[in-house]
Amino acid sequence: MFSARSIFNTVQRRAFSVSAQQNSKVTVLGAAGGIGQPLSLLLKLNKRVSDLALYDIRGGPGVAADISHVNTKSSVNGYDPTPEGLKAALDGAEIVLIPAGVPRKPGMSRDDLFNTNASIVRDLAKAAADHAPKAKILVISNPVNSTVPITAEVFRSKGVYDPRKLFGVTTLDIVRASRFISEVKKTDPANEEVTVIGGHSGHTIVPLLSQSNHPDISGEVRNQLVNRIQFGGDEVVKAKQGAGSATLSMAYAGARMADSLLRAAQGEKNVVECTFVESPLFKDQGIDFFSSKVTLGPEGVEKIHEIGPVNEYEQGLIDVCLQDLSKNIAKGQAFVKENP
Using rule CB under 6 A, residue 36 touches ligand NAI: yes
According to DSSP, the residues that pair with 271 across neighbouring strands are: 296
When the beta carbons of 193 and 213 are compared against ligand NAI, the nearer one is 193
The only residue of 100, 137, 261, 277 in contact with ligand NAI, by rule CB under 6 A: 100
Using rule CB under 6 A, residue 41 touches ligand NAI: no
Task: Identify which of 107, 146, 332, 133 has the alpha carbon closest to the alpha carbon of residue 231.
Answer: 107
* Dihedral (CA of 249, 246, 77, 126) sign: positive
Using rule CB under 6 A, residue 29 touches ligand NAI: yes
Binders of ligand NAI in range 120-139 (CB under 6 A): 120, 123-124
145 neighbors 199 (Cβ within 8 angstroms): yes
| Vertex 180 angle, CA 174 and 184, to 5° | 140
Distance CA 30, CA 7 (A): 38
Distance CA 141, CA 132 (A): 19
275 to 304: interface string for ligand NAI, x by CB under 6 A: ------------------------------
Using rule CB under 6 A, residue 145 touches ligand NAI: no
168 to 187: interface string for ligand NAI, x by CB under 6 A: -x--x---------------
Region binding ligand NAI by CB under 6 A among candidate stretches 1-9, 67-75, 95-103, 218-226: 95-103
Residues contacting residue 37 through CB under 8 Å, at least 6 positions apart: 31, 63, 251
Q: Catalytic site residues?
A: 200
Binders of ligand NAI in range 192-211 (CB under 6 A): 200
User: Is position 53 annotated in a ligand binding site?
Assistant: no
Residues contacting residue 45 through CB under 8 Å, at least 6 positions apart: 70, 72
Using rule CB under 6 A, residue 61 touches ligand NAI: no
User: Is position 127 annotated in a ligand binding site?
Assistant: no
Distance CA 200, CA 99 (A): 14
**Residues contributing to the site for ligand NAI (CB under 6 A):** 29-30, 32-36, 56-58, 99-104, 113, 117, 120, 123-124, 140-142, 144, 169, 172, 200, 244-247, 250
